[in-house]
Amino acid sequence: MGNISKLSSVLIGLILGASLVACDDGRAGAQDAAKQLASAVAALDVGPVAFEGKDSGAATEQLRQVFKALDPVKPTVDSGELTLDSGTATVPLDYSWKIGSGEWKYSTSAQFKKSDGKWLAVWSPGLLAPGLAEGEILGTLSQSPARAEILGAGDAKLVTYRPVVNVGIDKPRLASSDPAASATQLAQLVGVDPAAYAQQVQAAGPEAFVNAITLREDGRTITDDQIGAIPGARAIPDSLPLSPSRTFARALLGTAAEANAEQIEKSNGTLKTGDTTGTGGLQQQYDAQLRGSDGIQVFAEKAGLTREERQTLLNGGRRALFQVEIKVGTPLKTTLDPRLQQLAEDILGKVGPASAIVALRPSSGAVLAAASGPGSNGYDTAMLGQYAPGSIFKIVDSLAMIRNGMTPESTVECPATLSVDGRTFKNAEGYPASSLGSVTLRDAFAHSCNTAFINARDTVSQAQLEAAATSLGVAVEAPSLGASAFLGSVPGDAAGTEHAASMIGQGRVLLSPLSAAVMAGSVGKGAPVAAQLVLNPNEGVTSPGAGSPGATGTSGTSQAVPPSGDTTASAPPAPAPSAAAPVAAAEAAALADMMRAVVTSGHAGFLASVPGAPVGAKTGTAEFGSDNPPKTHAWIVAVHGDLAVAVFVEEGGLGATVSGPLLKEFLTAAG
């Protein structure tokens, strides 16, 4: 009985199989052929596809010519549900292209015919684009919007289109003149490398204009007559998005110029030859917002048109297939005050080492100036510098001490020297003998007694220092800043000589000039200052991640330099607060009282003559390196009404004597 059942099952299977074969009308094979065609078209290589009456290689060549104008973009192509009609199959091909900021979607129809049991694709240009006829290809026209402006306080135009001239050799104008001789002569006139430029001119095509240099029209000293005296040389008027001068806030703002090959390659099709893009600073960070997006048209046209014929068709005759509307960029609004920024740059112009001046408004956090001097060599020292702050950090120490019950009138001990785990600490050269011994905290702060603050290490823990710093807006993230910056680093853990060094702003404690201004500004405001530079980050930007502000601050020790000195001693016994409360008005008032004493009785008395509101200040001199004697950074911070300023000079000597006069000049002129 079991064998009969097995036999019945086999017979039933054979009958069903025969029935399925009988019903197989070739649909599966046609569908496979359609999928193969869709995949091959998407790859721009139909070599693996079998065509009826068309060589696969010739089909590939024609396909690539049709789509050449869209290079390097490739489509995604999917085959739809086929329709079968007695040996002929019709299949929709669904296309999707990423064209600029838009997506071009369309469907075409592909046919297949069965021959000798095999499905062959029927070649037709119409399967590539809607209504495309034999002898037609796709073409594109694009129009780039003008780059948007970068604005400062009161919508002052920091970066806007300004007139320039492109100076170079126009090869058609050379006639019989020697290209190398003209190029060499022009290069010498405008100050570029003669050999390199001559080689560039000789390598260019006969119709090329080879730019040697772009000069601002305003203040140009090389005249058109000088340029015109050289065979083939021309000065072509143009305009570029530029700041008021070549150096104005350059490290902060960045520059905008024609995209180079590397930028184009890395843009994934966003940039093309001739596009303007940002390099460095806010120009690069907010490139998407400032650049906007191109208007693009895709059309069908006859292949092989001459330049003249194509120009004629610009006025009509082309069949438009797809269009992306042009989208102008959105101006970037900042808080930068052009007068104060230029003032800061003018003051730093005479400083040799890396230097910075940062000014902000404590009441709002608005960054008014962030200038890096010529010695910074293009680096944004003002915003990104990471330096030991020295004695300006005693503002943080003092807040921690006040939170432990001290007042400006409290007595502290200020010996001439102090030894910690075998390391000797001393006061700065010239420290007044009258302020040694038992003195008030105010007096120790005003004259910057290192030993008095190091003596406080047993009652002020490293964790309390970190908490006090964050209470003053230092060593925190800055989400409202809108620009890349270093907001300071204060380790929460340190012992022995490292903890002692922290008490005088050394060891692993690091600040930037920006964070130093924030610290002083928080005292002036009576609450933590949240610095702000960019007012409308990424306005009008819809593409994911485009123009994102990136890192705006660093907290903790993630960017600290390696520790120095002995770290084996036990941690100070004072407990750390569970959370860093913002600096309170009463605490800030006590700090402001001591900062004012630096001017009235300390070594920043030169600021007493600054007109207007009383100035409160703190100087700082931070040793670094292994030289003997060591090199020093010179710091000074001040609060003057609703203005907080930090001045920094790398390798600057004493803060009071080096950075102090720069600060006085700035405050006096700032008004």
pLDDT per position as a tens digit, 530-558: 999 999 998 988 654 444 343 333 333 33
- With beta carbons less than 8 A apart as the criterion, state whether 386 and 559 touch: yes
Question: Which of 28, 252, 283 is CA-nearest to residue 150?
Answer: 283
Interacting residues of 116 by C-beta distance below 8 A, sequence separation 6+: none
More confident residue, 440 or 580: 440
DSSP string for 114-134: EETTEEEEE--GGGTSTTPPT
State how beta strands 150-151 and 332-333 pair. Answer: parallel
Report how far residue 384's alpha carbon sits from residue 320's, in angstroms, rounded to the nearest whole number: 50
Question: Which of 102, 453, 490 is CA-nearest to residue 297?
Answer: 102
Render the burial of 220-235: b for 16+ CB within 10 Å, e for the rest.
Answer: eebeeeebeebbbbbb
pLDDT category, 314, cuts 50, 70, 90? low
Average pLDDT over residues 643-655: 89
> Among 238-252, 404-418, 574-588, whose mean pLDDT is lowest?
574-588
Average pLDDT over residues 552-568: 32
Secondary structure E strands in 524-630: 615-624
DSSP string for 55-73: -HHHHHHHHHHHHGGGTT-
Report how far residue 271's alpha carbon sits from residue 562's, in angstroms, rounded to the nearest whole number: 41
For residue 600, the tally of other CB atoms under 10 A from its CB is 14
Instruction: Name beta bridge partners: 510.
Output: 489
pLDDT per position as a tens digit, 169-220: 999 999 999 999 999 999 999 999 999 999 999 999 999 999 999 999 999 9
For residue 371, the tally of other CB atoms under 10 A from its CB is 32
Interacting residues of 530 by C-beta distance below 8 A, sequence separation 6+: 365, 473, 478, 480
DSSP designation for 92: E
Interacting residues of 59 by C-beta distance below 8 A, sequence separation 6+: 46, 49, 51, 123
Question: Which of 261, 238, 253, 344 is CA-nearest to residue 290?
Answer: 253
CA dist list (Å): 393 to 363, 365, 433, 455, 522: 22, 20, 23, 15, 13
Phi–psi pair at 278, nearest 5 degrees: -90, 145
| pLDDT at residue number 101 | 84
pLDDT per position as a tens digit, 484-537: 999 999 999 888 888 988 989 999 999 999 999 999 999 999 999 999 999 999
DSSP designation for 475: S
CA dist list (Å): 641 to 262, 458, 521, 611, 663: 48, 35, 10, 11, 15
Does residue 563 carry a pLDDT above 80? no
Average pLDDT over all residues of the chain: 88
Does residue 129 carry a pLDDT above 80? yes
| pLDDT at residue number 193 | 98
- With beta carbons less than 8 A apart as the criterion, state whether 54 and 37 touch: no
| pLDDT at residue number 430 | 74
Phi–psi pair at 607, nearest 5 degrees: -85, -5
The total number of residues written for the chain in this structure: 671
pLDDT per position as a tens digit, 382-415: 999 999 999 999 999 999 999 999 999 999 999 9
| pLDDT at residue number 623 | 83
- With beta carbons less than 8 A apart as the criterion, state whether 582 and 389 touch: no
Residue ranges of domains in the chain, CATH in brackets:
21-134 (3.10.450.100), 149-248 (3.90.1310.10), 338-535+550-670 (3.40.710.10)
DSSP string for 481-494: T-S-----B--S--
Report how far residue 395's alpha carbon sits from residue 471's, in angstroms, rounded to the nearest whole number: 11
Report how far residue 548's alpha carbon sits from residue 454's, in angstroms, rounded to the nearest whole number: 43
Interacting residues of 499 by C-beta distance below 8 A, sequence separation 6+: 457, 462, 507, 569, 571, 572
Instruction: Name beta bridge partners: 109.
Output: 92
pLDDT per position as a tens digit, 57-92: 999 999 999 999 999 899 999 999 999 988 899 999
pLDDT per position as a tens digit, 265-310: 888 778 888 889 999 999 999 999 999 999 999 999 999 888 777 7
pLDDT > 70 fraction of the chain, expressed in percent and rounded: 90
Report how far residue 465's alpha carbon sits from residue 488's, in angstroms, rounded to the nearest whole number: 13
Report how far residue 663's alpha carbon sits from residue 606's, in angstroms, rounded to the nearest whole number: 10
pLDDT per position as a tens digit, 137-152: 999 998 999 999 999 9
> Among 13-27, 211-225, 301-315, whose mean pLDDT is lowest?
13-27
Phi–psi pair at 643, nearest 5 degrees: -140, 125
pLDDT per position as a tens digit, 261-277: 899 888 877 888 888 99
For residue 380, the tally of other CB atoms under 10 A from its CB is 27
Amino acid 29 reads G
Phi–psi pair at 297, nearest 5 degrees: -120, 135
Does residue 113 carry a pLDDT above 80? yes
Average pLDDT over residues 339-348: 98
